[in-house]
């Protein structure tokens, strides 16, 4: 199953150094039966993109929790065999049994530098947006208007060097 893991730049550095990564709380997002059921229509590609966007929003929470955050959303796409569906948490949520090895990574998605200001502002108000604050939701929308850039796993060292 293709799983989208929310991350941070610090987590990408860990992935490069250790060759594996533990998802925070073992949480990822995927095209699950509950996610498919929650949409009236949509191709697999569209629904997988919705799961990726859920992971990108979760990345904002991780950025907000870091002591010295680098304000770029990160999503790591990986092919994982052992996951547990968690529709009680949200339609796309899955739990991973263990760490994700670099060999399982299919792609890395990262904000471009021009998104940094919007991402930093969104990370600061993510909790308020979750509680329905319209101004916070607007700020969140500014960050989500930026598309994530795509990188192949073998490009990770070069990506980190450029940051």
Per the structure, the complete domain to which residue 7 belongs is given by 2-149
Nearest-CA neighbor of 30 among 71, 2, 9, 56?
Answer: 2
Domain count, the chain: 1
Asked whether residue 97 is domain-assigned, the answer is yes
Asked whether residue 159 is domain-assigned, the answer is no
pLDDT digits (tens, 9 = 90+) for 29-59: 999 989 988 888 888 899 999 999 999 999 9
pTM to 2 decimals?
Answer: 0.93
pLDDT digits (tens, 9 = 90+) for 118-148: 999 999 999 999 899 999 999 999 999 999 9
DSSP letters of the chain?
-EEEEEE-HHHHHHHHHHSEEPPGGGEEEE--HHHHHHSSS--HHHHHHHHHHHHHHHHHHHHHH-SS-----EEEEEE-S-EEE-TTT-TTEEEESSPEEGGGEEEEEE--GGGHHHHHHHHHHHHHHHTT-HHHHHHHHHHHTSPPEEE-GGGHHHHHHH-
Asked whether residue 101 is domain-assigned, the answer is yes
pLDDT digits (tens, 9 = 90+) for 83-101: 999 988 899 999 999 999 9
């Amino acid at each position: 199953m293709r799983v989208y893991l929310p991350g941070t730049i610090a987590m990408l550095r860990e992935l490069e150094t250790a060759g594996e990564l533990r998802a925070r709380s073992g949480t990822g997002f995927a095209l699950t039966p509950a996610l498919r059921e929650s949409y009236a229509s949509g191709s697999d590609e569209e629904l997988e993109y919705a799961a990726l966007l859920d992971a990108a929003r979760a990345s904002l929470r991780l950025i907000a929790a870091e002591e010295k955050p680098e304000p770029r959303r990160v999503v790591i796409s990986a092919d994982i065999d052992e996951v547990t569906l968690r529709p009680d948490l949200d339609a796309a949520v899955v739990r991973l049994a263990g760490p994700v090895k670099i060999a399982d990574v299919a792609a890395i998605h990262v904000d471009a530098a021009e998104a940094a200001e919007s991402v930093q502002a969104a990370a600061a108000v993510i909790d308020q947006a979750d509680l329905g604050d319209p101004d916070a939701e607007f700020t969140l929308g500014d960050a989500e208007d930026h598309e994530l850039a795509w990188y192949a796993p073998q490009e990770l060292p070069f990506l980190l060097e450029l940051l």
